[in-house]
């Protein structure tokens, strides 16, 4: 294993941060190539990408009737808290 990472190689954390841009096809070509090169050599990140794709496909099929009233209320409250407090809420331990 090469312990010296090439400067242009992405690390797993960077890949996780770029997944949405990758799936939305908004990464510049050079970034997309770096992303795909990392995926080719990292089974964990490749699995993570597939999990995100599966989640998106599943969520796209959900309707409000799929949730019981308690879950709907909880999601509504979480959204309102996020909207009022901003993304920092997601960083708090839960």
What integer pLDDT is reported at residue 3 of this predicted model? Answer: 36
Say which CATH number the domain at 73 has: 1.10.10
Whether 92 is in a domain gets the answer no
What integer pLDDT is reported at residue 1 of this predicted model? Answer: 38
Whether 55 is in a domain gets the answer yes
Where the chain has pLDDT below 50, the residues are 1-5, 89-94
Q: Taking the chain, what is the end-to-end CA distance rounded to the nearest angstrom? A: 36
CA pair distance 42, 59, nearest whole angstrom: 26
What integer pLDDT is reported at residue 7 of this predicted model? Answer: 53
CA pair distance 19, 50, nearest whole angstrom: 10
Whether 5 is in a domain gets the answer no
What integer pLDDT is reported at residue 44 of this predicted model? Answer: 95
Whether 7 is in a domain gets the answer no
Report pTM: 0.60
CA pair distance 79, 51, nearest whole angstrom: 23
What integer pLDDT is reported at residue 58 of this predicted model? Answer: 87
Whether 66 is in a domain gets the answer yes
Whether 60 is in a domain gets the answer yes
Collect all residues with Cβ–Cβ distance below 8 Å to 46 and sequence separation of at least 6.
39, 40
What integer pLDDT is reported at residue 66 of this predicted model? Answer: 83
Whether 64 is in a domain gets the answer yes
Backbone φ and ψ for 25, nearest 5 degrees, come out as 60, 40
Q: How many domains are there within the chain?
A: 1
Structure confidence by residue, pLDDT tens digits, 24-41: 999 999 999 999 999 999
Residue span of the structural domain in which 24 resides: 12-86
Integer CA distances (angstroms), 64 to 45, 52, 53, 68, in order: 31, 21, 21, 9
What integer pLDDT is reported at residue 89 of this predicted model? Answer: 46
């Amino acid at each position: 294993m090469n312990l010296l990472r090439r400067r242009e190689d992405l690390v797993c954390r960077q890949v996780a941060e770029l997944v949405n841009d990758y799936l939305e096809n908004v990464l510049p070509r050079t970034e997309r190539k770096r992303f795909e090169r990392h995926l080719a050599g990292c089974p964990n990140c490749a699995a993570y990408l597939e999990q995100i794709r599966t989640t998106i496909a599943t969520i796209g099929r959900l309707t409000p009737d799929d949730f019981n009233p308690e879950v709907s209320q909880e999601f509504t409250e979480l959204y309102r808290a996020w909207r009022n407090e901003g993304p920092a809420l997601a960083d708090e331990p839960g």
